Structure 1
């Protein structure tokens, strides 16, 4: 018996953490994967619902510790606004999801923070007007979609 505890003593802190966390209301974090430098690479968050844990959110990180992706999960699928960052920490994209499918406003940014594009998804398909901008924020292109099919295009930038 003593050998078992010595051999598996590394499990004791983990078991204690799970036991303590299971008695607490609120959100529970699981570090799913880590970089060699110890920084988390991927985390899952759970909410206690009666006697079960419900997966509600995930966060991915760059090796430098900055967030890469963050978003909510509902019934195993992406839900709500998902945010994506460049490695240096500035905002890259925001995409709204419904039941795991892009649905709603989507925006992307250049590394300098200027808006790169803005448009709307309708049940996973590009729909309506999509506007594209250069790094200085000037409108360069407008596309109009109807349920994923390109209907018109207007180039705005003069060269």
Structure 2
């Protein structure tokens, strides 16, 4: 008669253990956004459903109070995913203080993939700059020097092949530029000078396009 009771006791313990494991599993899968608990966080604008639209992070003083020095700004889509995430610094201009981008800056597609990777120094793009399509493939990439395109730039077809390659100097397309077919064959090579329209979006090319109209 002892064996049925003993077997029932073992099954009861197994049931409790399984229930405990399931409970623990459910708890660990619910993870809060760690940025919600960062010091200096302040929701500036909310959507109608009370989810954040624009969130600022301010410097905190020794007493734990928020100062007026903005350090970071995150903007969200309505689906609660990030739209932009930028670092800031407070600078003084004309006797007034205001925040400008300074440090890493990211923009995101609605699917969560990165759209833009950039770096700013006191409000101006500096260094490597990359833009991606929604599927994560590169759209174009290059370099900035104090807010102006400078150095080598590449523009890509949808599947990653280089479509256009060239250089900028002080924000103006300059030197040799090459257009490619999707199979890598060169379509044309052109010298970007004061009279040629090459990149279509630098100030020189825009002015030349306006004159054509």
1:82 equivalent in structure 2:
105
Query: Structure 1 residue 42 and structure 2 residue 57: aligned?
Result: no
2:138 equivalent in structure 1:
115
Q: Distance in 2 between matches of 1:143 and 1:85?
A: 26
What TM-score, normalized by structure 1, do the two folds share?
Answer: 0.79
Aligned residues: 134
1:92 equivalent in structure 2:
115
Q: Distance in 2 between matches of 1:117 and 1:81?
A: 18
Q: Would you say the 8 A contact 1:60–1:70 is kept in 2? A: yes
Larger strand proportion of the pair: 1
1:39, distance to aligned residue in structure 2 (A): 1.3
Query: Structure 1 residue 32 and structure 2 residue 44: aligned?
Result: yes
Larger CA deviation: 48-57 vs 34-43? 48-57
5+ long unaligned stretches in structure 1: 1-25
When Rg is computed on C-alpha atoms for both structures, the one with the higher figure is 2
Q: Which has the higher contact order (CA 8 A, sep 6+)?
A: 1
5+ long unaligned stretches in structure 2: 1-37, 91-98, 188-213
What root-mean-square deviation, in Å, do the aligned CA atoms of Structure 1 and Structure 2 show? 1.6
